[in-house]
Amino acid sequence: MPLLNRMARSVNFVWNFVNELSQRSIKERGVFLSTFDMHPYTKGAGKGLGSHSQTLQCIAGEYVTRRKQFKKNRLNWRKSGGVHRSLGWIPVNTGAAQWKNGQVYHNGHYFKVWDSYGLSQYRFRTASFNEDARGRWYFNVVVEVEVEPAKGQDRIGIDLGLTDTATCSDGTKIEAGRFYRGLEEKLAIAQRARNKTQVKTIHAKIANRRKDALHKFSRKLVNRCGEIYVDNVSSLKLVKTTMAKSVLDAGWGQLKTMLAYKCAHAGIVFKEVNEAYTTQTCSSCGSLPESRPKGIAGLGIREWTCSGCGVTHDDRDVNAARNILAVGHDRLAVGIHVL
């Protein structure tokens, strides 16, 4: 939309202005400017830039937050053109946008949205207009809703993997969707043809399919559980190995993020626990038997029998998930003991 694109360019201009202002303040006076310190420098600029005055305050607040987060004197510039153009972003403060005449009303303009949530029922709080890689705009808004306590009482441990993205201690699984690999051939054809529009569309389709599957799986768990424990496997470390493509396609980090905020909203327990030796330990007797699958060579062993207690584990991932649940309950003093 031309109007949103113009507003996004104004946001980029203000961001770059406060970025330079902050850098000069640190260099010349050794002072980090707060959000309050920046307000006088942007006051009254909204009218000339075609932006809401509260949007300028949001930009300064977001800039200070990110500068503290990344611990830098200067952040990256927001570019309004060129190959590395920044995707559009227009922050909206509380009360600066509202539902009016079946549309979103902001800064004197009406914006049509696909309302699948019944936005007229809610009072808007902070929000933002965001552009994706395909040039489509979205209205993301925080609203006040009544929190209903979770009714589920199940306790679940989750083992993350590549054959199955997640395996629960009760045997529930979400199979690896192979979202990227399923469209990899079409993506390669579009890239060789240098069809940028098609490439962006395929990437968006991959991301949407992955998010849809993870959202549905995480929602089912949160609805029926009172406690959820997941292993602390690091996808950032594994992307540096030959398993990088499969790890990224599985979306472990995305699943953990979804579980974390959904559990927080529902008021249930969510915790990441140490996964060390959870695959090799017998969930029945808690020992590390000689018959256990070991190292990389043991990854192909899906079924094994404990030489200590004689219990047969039909699925090594379920066994690992049960151990993760045990660690989450602190039934084992410090993780899983090493013999």
* pLDDT tens-digit series, residues 63-106: 999 999 988 888 999 999 888 899 999 999 888 899 998 899 99
Residues 120, 36 within the same domain: yes
Domain stop point among 249, 273, 297: 273
Which residue has 């830098």 as its token pair? Answer: 72
Q: Is residue 318 part of a domain?
A: no
Residues 168, 202 within the same domain: yes
Residues 63, 37 within the same domain: yes
* Number of domains observed in the structure of the chain: 2
Q: Is residue 335 part of a domain?
A: no
Residues 16, 129 within the same domain: yes
Residues 86, 170 within the same domain: no
* pLDDT tens-digit series, residues 1-26: 789 999 999 999 999 999 999 999 98
* pLDDT tens-digit series, residues 15-57: 999 999 999 998 898 888 999 999 899 888 888 888 888 899 9
Burial class from Cβ neighbours inside 10 Å (0-12, 13-18, 19+) for residue 211 reads: middle
Distances (CA, A) of 279 to 222, 248, 265, 276, 326: 25, 22, 31, 8, 13
Domain stop point among 90, 115, 143: 143
Q: Distance (Å, rounded) from C-alpha 239 to C-alpha 221?
A: 27
Alpha helices in the chain (DSSP H): 2-29, 35-42, 45-49, 53-70, 179-182, 184-192, 196-224, 235-238, 244-250, 252-266, 316-328
Q: Is residue 238 part of a domain?
A: yes
Q: Is residue 148 part of a domain?
A: no
* pLDDT tens-digit series, residues 166-201: 899 888 888 877 888 889 899 999 999 999 999 999
Residues in CB range of 224: below 8 A, 6 or more apart: 152, 154
pLDDT at 294 over 90: no
Query: Phi and psi for 246 in degrees, rounded to 5?
Result: -70, -35
Q: How many residues does the chain have?
A: 339
Residues 128, 174 within the same domain: no
**Average pLDDT for 103-116:** 91
Q: Is residue 292 part of a domain?
A: no
What's the predicted TM-score (pTM) here? 0.76
pLDDT band at 295 (very low <50, low <70, confident <90, very high): low
What is the average pLDDT score of the chain? Answer: 86
* Number of helices (H), then strands (E), in the chain: 11, 13
Residues 225, 121 within the same domain: no
Q: Is residue 319 part of a domain?
A: no
Q: Is residue 321 part of a domain?
A: no
pLDDT at 335 over 80: no
Structural domain including 224 reads: 154-273
Residues 187, 138 within the same domain: no
pLDDT at 334 over 50: no
What letter would DSSP give residue 149? P
Query: Phi and psi for 239 in degrees, rounded to 5?
Result: -70, -10
Q: Which two tokens stand for residue 5?
A: 């694109």
Residues 76, 171 within the same domain: no
Q: Distance (Å, rounded) from C-alpha 104 to C-alpha 110?
A: 6
Residues 134, 222 within the same domain: no
Q: Is residue 163 part of a domain?
A: yes
Residues 67, 187 within the same domain: no
Distances (CA, A) of 39 to 35, 60, 61: 7, 7, 9
Domain stop point among 214, 244, 273: 273
Identify the pLDDT of residue 299: 63
* pLDDT tens-digit series, residues 231-266: 888 877 777 777 788 888 888 889 999 999 999 888
Residues 133, 170 within the same domain: no
Q: Distance (Å, rounded) from C-alpha 158 to C-alpha 258?
A: 14
Q: Which two tokens stand for residue 158?
A: 């989750």
Q: How many CA atoms lie within 13 A of 333 on its CB side?
A: 2
Query: Phi and psi for 267 in degrees, rounded to 5?
Result: 75, 35
